[in-house]
Amino acid sequence: MERKKRFRSPPPADPITAVRDSSLALRLNLGFFLRQLGIFLAMDLLLLFLATLGLIVYAETRCADVAALVQLRGVPTQEALAWMEASDYTIQPLERKPEGLELPAISWLPVREETADGLRSWNITQYYRIELYSGESPYAIEVNIGGIFRTLYWAGAALLVCEGLSLVFGLFRSKRAIRKVLRPIQELASAAVRLNSATHMSRQELENLTGELGKINAGHLDSRIQLPATQKELRALAQAINDMLERVNRAYSTQMRFVSDASHELRTPIAVIQGYAALLDRWGKSDPEALQESIDAIRSETASMERLVEQLLFLARGDNNSQPVKKEALDLTALAGEVLREEEMIHPQRSFLPRWGEQPVVVRADPGLIKQVMRILMDNAVKYSPAQGRIYLRVSQSQGCARVTVQDEGAGIPAESVPHIFERFYRADCSRDRKTGGTGLGLAIALWIIERHEGWFEVVSRTGVGTRIAFLIPLAPVQEEAHNKR
């Protein structure tokens, strides 16, 4: 009991409180505040511009109306100006030339013809003034816009106060909204922590969580998370989980198909061995011919099963990354020559044609694994080409890569089967079955090896002409540098 206490981890903190007080909620709150503040500032600047423009347009229109009246009646005398005291404009005769801004400076204004030649000046908070000629008499028209400006000023102040209050109350509203949005994630984190610390869970909580987790099993891997349209914030999370489920479902389907195919491949030799064992039990004890036939068949099927099991174990080690890959400097031309000599010894009646130069092609690779790839390609070329067909083995280098090519003059592979030839237990047609000695795993093993060497395969095949399969892997750094210098 003392040892258990010594190594027991402290109970985890409440994830809901941790998430609620985390920087994520703070960043979201700050983001909402800044976004709303930016919207208000943009709207205020637009309203300020429109208000200023409206004041100028109003004053310009008013001045044009007064100028039209002056053109009809002439410039009034000082004694005649008393009637204008109650209006929002004044007309003043000038004893000097007109002064102010020329028209091109404010050419974007909707200027009327009556004031087109006038010179303008203004204080946007008080007045708008145009000085121009009536015949040869200069005069000025001044419109009082102070009252309109004060009205707009207090309206703008009220608007700013409302926006400030909206920002303050918006902080509290967004905080509640963020908590509501983050609540499913918080509950998910809480459930995960409770799952890792089952001692802190009540029996009812454990049963509820077990019931939810029990819905996901091998028979329901095609299930997906469906969210209502209102949960837009969680769609990305749901999509990520659905993508993960899709990958798990695909991997599980591949595994089940692999197990099914492996079982099928093992079922046949086991059935053959059982059949010959029954034959030995009935007649083989007294019939030397049946005895020898059974022994030969059992040996052959046992060897086939041994090869299949070795290949399955290789792929299993590759899938869990426990297959060692020991890279070293390797001359592919020397290795190709060794493989070619072995094939000539095994198949002396076949015609093998080597194609490589005297210059070594050096890569960093595992010699045993690369040799296994060459043997797989050469064995396939021998199995699936006629006895009189020639088999080419080429080694070359270009663009920083070494290329090893095996070409036969066999029946070829149908175009629709080429993309699938590296799948496990795949056979392009009925003739490519276990009678040729193959298991359908060779190219899958070869692909795994070449991918671990950062390489790839290129396949060209024509029905009735033959097949050319090449693998490419990067040159060793020294070899690549020497090749570039040449």
The predicted pLDDT at position 201 comes to 41
395's tokens = 């080694």
121 close to 99: Cβ distance less than 8 angstroms: yes
> What is the percent of the chain where pLDDT is above 90?
16
Checking if the pLDDT of 7 tops 50, the result is no
The predicted pLDDT at position 378 comes to 92
Among the three residues 214, 239, 256, which one is the final residue of a domain in this structure? Answer: 214
Higher pLDDT, 397 or 252: 397
Is residue 273 domain-shared with residue 132, that is, in the same domain?
A: no
Lowest mean pLDDT, pick from 281-295, 349-363, 425-439: 425-439
As a whole number, mean pLDDT of residues 389-413 equals: 91
Q: Which residues of 387-404 are buried (b: 16+ CB within 10 A; e: fewer)?
A: eebebbbbbbbeeebbbb
The predicted pLDDT at position 154 comes to 92
Is residue 309 domain-shared with residue 181, that is, in the same domain?
A: no
The predicted pLDDT at position 306 comes to 79
Does 350 reside within a domain? yes
Nearest to 478 by CA among 394, 335, 360, 395: 360
Does 233 reside within a domain? no
Q: How distant is the alpha carbon of residue 23 from its chain centre? A: 26
414's tokens = 């149908």
The predicted pLDDT at position 247 comes to 78
As a whole number, mean pLDDT of residues 355-360 equals: 88
Is residue 404 domain-shared with residue 350, that is, in the same domain?
A: yes
Does 241 reside within a domain? no
Cα three-residue angle 248-251-254, rounded to 5 degrees: 150
Cα three-residue angle 415-417-420, rounded to 5 degrees: 135
Is residue 301 domain-shared with residue 337, that is, in the same domain?
A: no
Starting at the edge strand that comes first in sequence, how are the strands of the sheet with 127-134 ordered?
89-93, 137-144, 127-134, 119-123
Checking if the pLDDT of 169 tops 60, the result is yes
As a whole number, mean pLDDT of residues 350-365 equals: 90
402 close to 359: Cβ distance less than 8 angstroms: no
As a whole number, mean pLDDT of residues 459-474 equals: 91
| pLDDT band, residue 228 (cuts 50/70/90) | low
Checking if the pLDDT of 463 tops 80, the result is yes
Lowest mean pLDDT, pick from 51-65, 108-122, 125-139, 353-367: 108-122
Give the pLDDT confidence of 254-301 residue by residue, as tens digits.
677 667 666 766 777 788 788 878 877 777 667 777 778 788 888 877
As a whole number, mean pLDDT of residues 458-472 equals: 91
Place of tokens 């209502």: 228
Per-residue HEC secondary structure of the chain comes to CHHHHHHCCCCCCCHHHHHHCCHHHHHHHHHHHHHHHHHHHHHHHHHHHHHHHHHHHHHHHHHHHHHHHHHHHCCCCCHHHHHHCCCCEEEEECCCCCCCECHHHHCCCCCCHHHCCCEEEEECCCEEEEEEEECCEEEEEEEECHHHHHHHHHHHHHHHHHHHHHHHHHHHHHHHHHHHHHHHHHHHHHHHHHHHCHHHCCHHHHHHHHHHHHCCCHHHCCCCCCCCCCCHHHHHHHHHHHHHHHHHHHHHHHHHHHHHHHHHHHHHHHHHHHHHHHHHHHHHCCCHHHHHHHHHHHHHHHHHHHHHHHHHHHHHHHHCCCCCCCCEEEEHHHHHHHHHHHHHHHCCCCEEEEECCCCCCEEEECHHHHHHHHHHHHHHHHHCCCCCCEEEEEEEEECCEEEEEEECCCCCCCHHHHHHCCCCCCCCCCCCCHHHCCCCCHHHHHHHHHHHCCCEEEEEEECCCEEEEEEEEEECHHHHHHHHHC
Q: How many C-beta atoms surround the C-beta of residue 282 within 10 A? A: 11
Give the pLDDT confidence of 179-207 residue by residue, as tens digits.
666 666 655 555 545 544 544 444 444 44
Does 437 reside within a domain? yes
Is residue 315 domain-shared with residue 197, that is, in the same domain?
A: no
Is residue 166 domain-shared with residue 64, that is, in the same domain?
A: yes
Q: Which amino acid, residue 438?
A: G
Among the three residues 190, 214, 238, which one is the final residue of a domain in this structure? Answer: 214
Q: Rounded to whole angstroms, how far apart are CA atoms 465 and 470?
A: 17
Is residue 41 domain-shared with residue 183, that is, in the same domain?
A: yes
The predicted pLDDT at position 363 comes to 93
| pLDDT band, residue 442 (cuts 50/70/90) | confident
Q: Rounded to whole angstroms, how far apart are CA atoms 424 and 308?
A: 12
Give the pLDDT confidence of 60-107 residue by residue, as tens digits.
888 888 888 887 777 776 555 555 555 788 888 888 888 888 766 566
As a whole number, mean pLDDT of residues 108-133 equals: 81
Q: Rounded to whole angstroms, how far apart are CA atoms 90 and 70?
A: 12
Does 12 reside within a domain? yes
Give the pLDDT confidence of 30-42 residue by residue, as tens digits.
777 888 888 989 9
> What is the percent of the chain where pLDDT is above 70?
70
As a whole number, mean pLDDT of residues 210-229 equals: 54
CATH number at residue 411: 3.30.565.10
- Exposed, middle or buried by CB within 10 Å (0-12, 13-18, 19+), for 159? middle
Is residue 305 domain-shared with residue 372, that is, in the same domain?
A: no
As a whole number, mean pLDDT of residues 349-357 equals: 90
Among the three residues 288, 319, 350, which one is the final residue of a domain in this structure? Answer: 319
Is residue 346 domain-shared with residue 433, that is, in the same domain?
A: yes
Q: What is the tally of structural domains in the chain?
A: 3
Give the pLDDT confidence of 335-345 residue by residue, as tens digits.
999 999 988 88
Does 228 reside within a domain? no
Mean pLDDT of the chain: 76
Is residue 88 domain-shared with residue 191, that is, in the same domain?
A: yes
**Which structural domain range is residue 393 located in?**
328-485
Phi, psi values for residue 52, rounded to 5°: -60, -45
Does 255 reside within a domain? no
| pLDDT band, residue 459 (cuts 50/70/90) | very high
The predicted pLDDT at position 476 comes to 86
406's tokens = 């095996």
Is residue 315 domain-shared with residue 357, that is, in the same domain?
A: no
Checking if the pLDDT of 141 tops 90, the result is no
Q: Rounded to whole angstroms, how far apart are CA atoms 27 and 15?
A: 18
Does 464 reside within a domain? yes
Nearest to 58 by CA among 182, 153, 144: 144
Checking if the pLDDT of 381 tops 60, the result is yes
Is residue 391 domain-shared with residue 439, that is, in the same domain?
A: yes
Checking if the pLDDT of 421 tops 80, the result is yes
